[in-house]
Amino acid sequence: MAEKNLALLIDAENISPEYMSIIRDEANKYGNLSYRRIYGDWASSNLGKWRSKCIEYNLEQIQQVSYVSGKSTSDFTLIIDAMDILYADRVEGFVLVSSDSDFTRLVSRLRQNNKFIIGMGESKTPLSLVNSVDLFIFLDKIKNVRDKNIKPKRKSKTTVNEQENDEGIIGLEDLIDVVTNIINETGDENGWAYWSNTNNTLVRKYPGFDPRNYGFKGKALQFFLANGFEKRNEGLDVFIRPKPLA
């Protein structure tokens, strides 16, 4: 998706402005942000912290009046806008920033038109939305990794049980089992499987997979090498398999 045109659509009522630098940096990895729109009731004091971010990151504020107290109305405006952008056919993909599962049907409709969809939200995002997109980025997990690199914190172990509390993130032990099964199904007689095929299959199964979800700052291959796998190179080809038991 590099150098492709993307539409960045943010649900301001559902996402904290503290993630904006991460949203921008992650989205820019996949293409040019032709649209930068953020939706909410801008007359509300609840979105006060977003206003300075809109100026800083050149976000177009789309107003939606809240006719009913306590009810998010930005969903409807965002959906209508997304369909208008779709029919204008000026972008190859969308970056949808929200943890709200109500957007799952919208994602399905956009993908029917062969649009590449990146989702962004917090770990609380329901699996229905996480698994509907091509790629899902958990903003709170990336922020945790960034914060650890900015200032030292007291070390704490992330247990498998803690991972399971994040609805949209597969636990580490289950993840290792999934990758092992993928390799077993596609590997040769010595257990070696193409890394690129293994990684692509994993992401199709779990669009939310990212090493940073597990506190690991590095690429996916290095993550698995640190968690019980080994690699072999043949020219430009990379193969992976679980480390043989001693």
3-59 per-position pLDDT tens digit = 789 999 999 989 999 999 999 989 988 888 999 999 998 888 889 999 999 999 999
Q: Are residues 19 and 116 in the same domain?
A: yes
pLDDT higher at 216 or 163: 216
In a domain, 33, yes or no: yes
Domains contained in the chain, number: 2
95: part of which helix (H) or strand (E)?
strand 93-97
pLDDT above 50 (res 155): no
Q: Are residues 67 and 167 in the same domain?
A: no
Q: Where are the alpha helices (DSSP H) in the chain?
A: 20-28, 48-56, 74-88, 104-112, 127-130, 139-150, 160-164, 172-186, 195-205, 220-225
Q: Are residues 53 and 131 in the same domain?
A: yes
pTM: 0.74
Tell me which of 53-62, 151-160, 236-245 is least confident. Answer: 151-160
CB-CB neighbours of 24 under 10 Å: 18
Give the model's confidence band at 149: pLDDT under 50 very low, under 70 low, under 90 confident, else very high. low
* Domain with 178 in it: 160-242
In a domain, 153, yes or no: no
In a domain, 88, yes or no: yes
- CATH number for the domain including 27? 3.40.50.1010
Q: Are residues 97 and 180 in the same domain?
A: no
Q: Are residues 215 and 173 in the same domain?
A: yes
Counting residues of the chain whose pLDDT is more than 90, the rounded percentage is 59
Go through the chain and tell me how many residues it has.
246
Q: Are residues 170 and 98 in the same domain?
A: no
Q: Are residues 51 and 98 in the same domain?
A: yes
Q: What pLDDT is attached to residue 152?
A: 42
Q: Are residues 209 and 182 in the same domain?
A: yes
What's the whole-number average pLDDT of the chain? 86
pLDDT above 50 (res 158): no
Q: How many CA atoms lie within 13 A of 183 on its CB side?
A: 24
- CATH number for the domain including 238? 3.30.420.610
Q: Show which of 148, 180, 213 is a domain's final residue.
A: 148
Average pLDDT over residues 73-90: 88
Q: What pLDDT is attached to residue 166?
A: 63
Q: Show which of 123, 148, 173 is a domain's final residue.
A: 148
Q: Are residues 114 and 144 in the same domain?
A: yes
In a domain, 154, yes or no: no
Average pLDDT over residues 99-106: 91
Tell me which of 40-54, 57-71, 82-96, 178-192 is least confident. Answer: 57-71
Tokens of 60: 């177009």
In a domain, 155, yes or no: no
Average pLDDT over residues 154-182: 68
Average pLDDT over residues 200-220: 89
97 phi and psi angles, rounded to 5 deg:
-110, 100
Q: Are residues 93 and 67 in the same domain?
A: yes
Q: Are residues 25 and 126 in the same domain?
A: yes
Q: What pLDDT is attached to residue 153?
A: 41
Q: Are residues 55 and 138 in the same domain?
A: yes
Q: What pLDDT is attached to residue 183?
A: 92
Q: What pLDDT is attached to residue 151?
A: 46
Residue for token pair 């914190």: 153
pLDDT higher at 150 or 185: 185
pLDDT higher at 100 or 120: 120
pLDDT higher at 150 or 169: 169
Q: Show which of 148, 170, 204 is a domain's final residue.
A: 148
pLDDT above 70 (res 190): yes
